[in-house]
Structure formats: structure tokens, C-alpha cells
Amino acid sequence: MHSAPTISTQGLSRRFGDLVAVDSVDLRVYSGQFFGFLGPNGAGKSTTIKMLTGLLAPSSGRIEILGLDLSTHPVEVKRQIGVVPEGMALFGRLTGAEFLSFAGRMYGLDRETAAKRAAELLEFMQLADQPRKLVTDYSHGMQKKLALAAAVIHGPKILFLDEPFEGVDAIAAGTLKAMLQGMISRGATIFLTSHVLEIVERLCSHVAIIHQGRLVAQGSLEELRAGVEAQAPAGGDGEPRPSEKLTLEEIFLRVVGGTRRSEQELSWLG
């Protein structure tokens, strides 16, 4: 049995005018989980993660992080979490080391500890070889690595990442994954969003699928697989699937009721 969830929401909703971007979402994420929040573009992932981290107010619903109500304890919560939101703006006129030290100081680390961790993080992220380079001159992938480094410098209990692998090359992605897996093995909880099934399937132990603002599935990969198979046995669509496990893509397509249309789409493209 689980103890209390590390992240929980009840009826979490956000409207933008007439659009219900996030619709009555009940999330349960437990300590130590590597949790993937999966959904197509526009499903409501970024809106949800902004609400979970106090960057955007919900229209309605409750959020508890580490047992604290986010609406009444925003400062205590923010001290214990790290966030890399979408389109994060970094302070460009600093070097990487200056930026990370600044981030550490903002989280209340003393000067010495902040500088030491900044140097270690730059080394780990393979950003240490051009110490004079300003953040504004960093490539997109380098900025993403730096943003992640800044989000973990205070040793957060929970890390929230919005599409952390977008626009990141394979080498940088490997570095990011190594850092995240290290954090998980030391007991942190990670909540990441992605529209890329393979990323979630490879990294995450637990998954929630959001579609048009609504949570359509939630659980461990094994639980999702079992649920989908119970509804529609593998091979029921005519494809013979001898004793093969459903991939997350197949689970996803069945849960959101989609079909693969790549063959008929945009035939005029050639």
C-alpha cells in the first residue's frame, strides 16, 4: 500500500475564456516515482505543470504537494521543488557559472555551497569547457541543460520538467537521462511531460495520459497495459500479436481512441 501521495490534485481545472484546457484532473503521484505525463499537442500538459508548480492559478480544484496545500503554502512548496517550465527565460548576460550560483543563492544556499554546486553541475552537464561564454550565446540544448542544472541546485524532492528533451541532441539527452536516473535512485520524484511516447516508455515507471484536457488513464505501465488488454484483447484488430506486450504507443492509441493515419495523410506531399 502507498502512503500519502507526493503530488495530488482534485478536480484540477483551468479555463481560458471558453476553452477548458484542463478539465477536472485527479492526479496521484507517489514518492520516488518517475512519472510521465503524456498527451498530444494541446492536450493540457503545460497548463497542468504550470498549475502544479504555482506558475499559473487554477480556475478550480485543489493541489497538494508534499502534503501541503499549494494555494496556502506556496513558499514552502517552492523551496522543495525544482521546475523547468516551457519557454523558460534565462538571464542571458551571465556566464553559466554565474547563472547557477545565482539560482543557488535564490534558493537560500550560502555563497560557497552555491559556487561549489554550480561548478559540479557545469562539469556534469558538460558545460564547463567554455567558462566565459554567456548564457545568451548558449545553444538551445545547452540552455536546456543549464535550466535543468538550475532547477536541481538546491536538491529538490520533486522535479517538474516540461518537455525536457525537446530540441536536445542525443548526447545532451543522454546526459539529462543520466542525471534524472541518478536523482530517482537517490529517492527524488520526477514529473515530466512529453508528447513523445518513446521517451515516456523508456524512462518512466508510471504514466498519466491526458487528452483534450481530461485524464484518460493513470497508473504503472503494467497497470495500463492490463487495463487496455482487458477491454480489447491484443490481436482483436486483426493483427496477430503472439504473446507480445502492448507498446505504450498501442496503449495510447487505444486509450485515446486514435488510429494511425500516417499512410493516408498528406498524400500530395509525395
Ligand X SMILES: Nc1ncnc2c1ncn2[C@@H]1O[C@H](COP(=O)(O)OP(=O)(O)O)[C@@H](O)[C@H]1O
Q: How far is the CB of 162 from ligand X (least distance, A)?
A: 7
Q: Which is nearer to ligand X, 4 or 196 (CB)?
A: 196
Cell numbers that stand for 131 in this block: 567558462
Q: Which is nearer to Mg ion, 23 or 250 (CB)?
A: 23
Residues that bind Mg ion (CB under 5 A): 45-46
Q: Is residue 211 within the footprint of ligand X (CB under 6 A)?
A: no
User: Total binding residues for ligand X by CB under 6 A?
Assistant: 11
How far is it, in rounded angstroms, from Cα 164 to Cα 192? 7
41, interface contact from ligand X, Mg ion, none, CB < 5-8 Å by kind: ligand X
How far is it, in rounded angstroms, from Cα 226 to Cα 30? 20
Q: Which is nearer to ligand X, 16 or 91 (CB)?
A: 16
Which residues, in sequence order, are bridge partners of residue 10?
A: 62
Cell numbers that stand for 61 in this block: 480544484
How far is it, in rounded angstroms, from Cα 38 to Cα 16? 21
Q: Give the dihedral of Cα atoms 160, 92, 117, 101; nearest 10 deg.
A: -110
Q: How far is the CB of 226 from ligand X (least distance, A)?
A: 26
Q: How far is CA 220 from CA 30, 142, 163, 188, in A?
A: 11, 32, 20, 17
Q: Mark residues 27-56: x for contact with ligand X by CB under 6 A, - for none.
A: ------------x-xxxxxxx---------
Q: Mark residues 13-32: x for contact with ligand X by CB under 6 A, - for none.
A: ---x--x-x-----------
Kindly list the residues in this chain that would bind ligand X in the complex (CB under 6 A): 16, 19, 21, 39, 41-47
